[in-house]
Structure 1
């Protein structure tokens, strides 16, 4: 899907992007301070914010603030400020952190708390990047996550789980976040999980999407079997849409596997379904969805959906509730 597939009025011309990292936020009680990459257009004011949560791939640096450049750069070039933390689960910290650190290995709670800490410290981030000072709109915030990052995003959007350590219900929903995008995110737990995952990652057993009220776009690949995680095949990744209340939308990408064409980085060897047109579709459709959710009445999402469905060879389909 080329840029020309989309009506010209739905997507502004890209602007140069400023990227600064690491911006270090002090984090008392966290094993190490929180490092964040900031990507922003060099011009514009009252800029909306995207919090981007990385997944857990094989490559060393993709699961950190250095990953997901195809998405971060695109969104920033089209008017968003993108904030990417390095979560404690990142392989870049594997030699720094004791494997017995509380929350290891996935640090599911800490991941969500990282995003809340970033929102608490937007003033510190602005001060650390003088070119950004006074240009953020904290009333327009979205969260996006891929794979394990999608799990993180779902918690911030209202999904719940039972903490396997103390049996309490974890409620990490953040009302400052107005919309979200879940990219190849984990689905429901229970008997949907493989036995090794249910045993090693028990927090995934009890995921409950019934209280995930914040508007969200769920993006899945119809060939994303994720056999190491689930016995249910690609349909598992659609659970955040199927099992949550509206308003929600589901984008199913034809032929896509877990990398959704290669969103985690440029020319990434671990991408099993490399496809630049598919990445372009994810870039534009996620941008359009968030643009319309954060600016009600903006036609970007409808225009993007229309372009997708009327293409000679559609790369996917969208349904909503």
Structure 2
């Protein structure tokens, strides 16, 4: 069984190139893992808009220390690729993101081989996908969510049989209340969660007031309320979109910097996935007990 100790040493390997014909630029990934342990579960993590494999170190490092192998691709919308809102490729980037995640999942053995022989220490039957913001919508598609077209018809099924569970952090809500900017630039931000059947934790901030929707913070709870069980929702009352600084310390987008909040999100995801992947339910049960006996600054509900 993987170690759950947060003080164990970790190692990161980058860049590892994943071959994707026709993508236009190399798909690069970073792998972070504990130095010791066998039968390690995997988290494939999808970053938010404009980020890269080099962001979200506070999450990746904490998950690796909790016993996960963490694989982080750099999507095409990364600022290092120079894609702007007006780039003609932008309209289909959401599909490229999902294809990136499939390429990582399909090529996991080779990726881990290049990451120092991790393919000998992995449990390929325990793979999860996690994402933040746009990455959460990308991850949701792997878990079974679809995208509605302008007529409200669900698009194709992008789910991946190799993924058993996941976590969506600050995930896009339904698209009927998109702002004019979002309708123009992000029309694909119309998820249909009714088919997202895989177990998942949804993380939402009570002060995440997006410029993409007119509905306010509750928009980010749709992934929980509109998807079938089993699902859990971690609702953090004072959390804004970066939930304390998930992508890193002192980054420009972090308007609610709080390292303790970041640690809460990271630990909640790892605890949930240990339970959902049938490794160990102790940490998840303890977190639920802490929420029930807490001061209401964060709560967990499940269905």
What displacement does 1:189 show? 0.8
Question: Scaled by the length of structure 1, what TM-score is found?
Answer: 0.88
Matching residue within 7, 27, 35 for 1:34: 27
Pick the aligned partner of 1:211 from 185, 192, 195.
Answer: 195
TM-superposed deviation, 1:210: 0.5
Structure 1 equivalent of residue 178 of structure 2: 193
Equivalence map 1:47-58=2 (5 Å)? 47-56=40-49
Tell me if structure 2 keeps the 8 A contact 1:69–1:266: no
Deviation at 1:161, TM superposition (A): 1.3
SS in 2 for 1:274: coil
Length, aligned pairs only: 299
Residues 12-55 of structure 1 show CA distances to partners (whole Å, capped at 9, x for unaligned) of 24211110111011111211121000000011111100010000
TM-score, normalising length: structure 2: 0.93
Q: How far apart, CA to CA, are the structure 1 residues paired with 2:117 and 2:157?
A: 35
Output the CA distance in 1 between the equivalents of 2:154 and 2:285: 40
Q: Which one of 77, 93, 101 corresponds to residue 107 of structure 1?
A: 93
Q: How does 1:70-81 map to 2 (within 5 A)?
A: 70-81=58-69
The residue number in structure 2 matching 1:161 is 147
Structure 1 residues not aligned, in runs of 5+: 1-9, 58-62
- Residues in 2 aligned to 1:89 and 1:130: alpha-carbon distance in whole angstroms: 28
1:84-99 residue pairs with structure 2 within 5 A?
Answer: 84-94=72-82, 99=87
8 Å CA contact 2:6–2:62 kept in 1: the answer is no
Q: Please, which runs of 5 or more residues in structure 2 have no aligned partner?
A: none
Q: Do the aligned partners of residues 39 and 181 (structure 1) sit closer, same or farther apart at CA in structure 2, a change above 3 Å counting?
A: same
Q: What is the match of residue 223 of structure 1?
A: 207
Q: What CA deviation, in whole Å up to 9, does each residue of 1:125-166 have, x standing for no partner?
A: 1221224241111110111100000100111111111457xx
8 Å CA contact 2:63, 2:70 repeated in 1: yes
Q: 1:18 aligns with which of 11, 31, 34?
A: 11
> How far apart, CA to CA, are the structure 2 residues paired with 1:237 and 1:145?
13
Which whole-Å CA distance do the structure 1 matches of 2:154 and 2:273 have between them?
32
Deviations 1:162-202 (A, max 9, x none): 457xx872210112111111100100012x11122112211
Return the alpha-carbon distance in structure 1 between the equivalents of residues 17 and 262 of structure 2.
30
Question: Is the 8 Å Cα contact of residues 204 and 234 (structure 2) preserved in structure 1?
Answer: yes
Q: Are the aligned partners of 1:163 and 1:170 in contact in 2 as well (CA < 8 Å)?
A: no
Q: Which whole-Å CA distance do the structure 2 matches of 1:256 and 1:14 have between them?
A: 26
Is residue 175 of structure 1 aligned with residue 157 of structure 2? no
**Structure 2 CA distance for aligned equivalents of residues 153 and 309 of structure 1:** 28
What per-residue deviation string (whole Å, max 9, x for no partner) do you get for residues 261-303 of structure 1?
1111123232011111111211211110011111255222111
Specify the alignment match of 1:4 in structure 2: none
Distance 1:263 1:95, change over 3 A: closer
Deviation of the 1:56 alpha carbon: 1.5
2: CA distance, partners of 1:189 / 1:268 = 28
- The aligned counterpart of 1:7 is none
